[in-house]
A = this chain, B = another copy of it.
Amino acid sequence: MAHDERRLQVLRAIVQDFVSTNDPVGSKALAERHDLGVSPATIRNDMAVLEEQGYITQPHTSAGRVPTDKGYRLFVDRLSSVKPLSAAERKAIERFLDGAVDLHDVLGRTVRLLAQLTHQVAVVQYPTLSRSAVRHLEVVQLTGSRLLLVLITDTGRVEQRVVDCPADVTRDDVADLRTLLNAAFTGARLADAGGKVPDLLDTAPPHLRVLVAAVSAALVETLVEPGEDRLVVGGTANLARVAVDFPGSLRPLLEALEEQVVVLRLISEVDSGGAVLVRIGEENAHEALAGASVVSVGYGTGDRALGGLGIVGPTRMDYPGNMAAVRAVARYVGQLLAES
């Protein structure tokens, strides 16, 4: 029906205007600013229907309309077209990320870049350990019985863990241990590492068994520990800019961002197909994020998803633009990590 079609145009126009002006939008302004081909009165009728269906709402009786979460959802799903990045923006991404010197640097730059492109808070997850493979394991002796185990993954992540051994170990033991560990684990996915421990223990020379057991335990623990899925957050200053969209206070949101676990869950639940995921307002489940939207996507090398990245902002945000930025940055980071 032609009706429905026009009503959707009206919804789109409302979202666009509201996002850019932050004023509830009325029928008259809408008719003036958009070529809808009908009079304000007709738009009013459409708005009444849209409101009844729950896509828009009025803050108070004599005000214009504002999109609801449901309205934004419809907008994102059916009304927004892909907004390609400008050449300048693509250029900026390259310029910004090239010259990064290690993983820490790459992710630090990524988060700043994303915050700058979207004017929102950006979050980037470190490549998940469980999906990474072992590039090298290093054992450094700290004292007689304390060893430092250093894990280097193929994604460039470096993790360390102090291991206390039951007894003093010799320099030769350390060297043997290093050889054994690398033979067993190098190239293996960390997710599979746990399964290799029994084999390793069987083949290890008896006098090293205890040592190998202690060190493998630390290794497996390192990757199982969910706290080890790190997160980089940046651009919180952008929150101050949009403070007006968060009545009450920014506090719950800032707290949620510090509570890495919460954000981690959001960011790491990425679509396996590589699509950009948008969670709007109440869809976020976590209370502190009820007034916020999260745009996230997985990044990876080739077919392997390494982690997630995305942005957090008010529900009143430029979804098409932010989705494009998030996707572009993820793609570029994926490439960058594949090279190294």
Binding site for B on A (CB under 8 A): 101-103, 135-136, 138, 140, 142, 148, 150, 152, 156, 158-162, 234-237, 239-241, 243, 249-251, 254-255, 257-258, 340
A142 surroundings in chain B (CB, below 8 A): 135, 340
- Can you list the 5 inter-chain pairs with the closest CB atoms, starting with the nearest? A240-B251, A237-B254, A237-B255, A136-B140, A240-B250
Q: In the assembled complex, which residues on chain B have CB atoms less than 8 Å from the CB atom of A340? A: 142, 162
Provide the residues of chain B in CB contact with A237, threshold 8 Å. Answer: 251, 254-255, 257-258
Query: What are 9 A-B contacts defined by CB distance under 8 Å?
Result: A101-B161, A102-B159, A102-B160, A138-B150, A140-B152, A162-B340, A236-B258, A237-B257, A239-B254
How many Å lie between the Cα of A159 and that of B103 in the bound state?
10
A258 to chain B, nearest CB (A): 6
Q: List chain B residues, Cβ under 8 A from A148.
A: 135-136, 152
Instruction: Indicate if the CB atoms of B258 and A249 lie closer than 8 Å.
Output: no
* Residues in B neighbouring A140, C-beta threshold 8 A: 135-136, 138, 152
| Copies per assembly | 2
Shortest distance from the beta carbon of A44 to any chain B beta carbon, whole Å: 37
| Cα-based distance from A142 to B254 in the complex (angstroms) | 39
A249 to B244, CA, bound (A): 11
Q: Name the residue in A148, A235, A257 with the highest tally of chain B Cβ atoms < 10 Å from its Cβ.
A: A148
Tell me, rounded to whole Å, the shortest Cβ–Cβ distance linking A219 to chain B. Answer: 13
Further pairs besides A135-B140, A150-B158: 6, Cβ < 8 Å: A102-B162, A135-B142, A150-B152, A162-B340, A236-B258, A240-B254
How distant is the Cα of A136 from the Cα of B138 in the complex, in angstroms? 10
Contacts of A103 in B (CB 8 A): 160
For A101, A249, A255, the residue with the greatest tally of chain B CB atoms inside 10 Å of its CB is A101
Q: Which residues of B contact A257 (CB under 8 A)?
A: 236-237
A240 to chain B, nearest CB (A): 4
Task: Considering the complex, give the chain B residue whose CB is closest to the CB of A235.
Answer: B258
Contacting residues, chain B, for A138 (C-beta < 8 A)? 138, 140, 150
Closest B residue to A234 using CB positions: B258
Shortest distance in angstroms between A242's beta carbon and chain B's nearest beta carbon? 10
- Within 8 Å by CB of A102, from B161, B249, B258, lies B161
Q: How far is the CA of A138 from the CA of B140 in the complex (A)?
A: 9
CA distance A241 to B103 in the complex (A): 34
Contacts of A254 in B (CB 8 A): 236-237, 239-240
| Alpha-carbon gap, A158 to B148, bound state (A) | 11
| Bound complex: CA A158 to CA B243 (Å) | 38
> A243 — which chain B residues lie within 8 A by C-beta?
249-250
Nearest-neighbour CB distance to chain B for A331, whole angstroms, equals 22
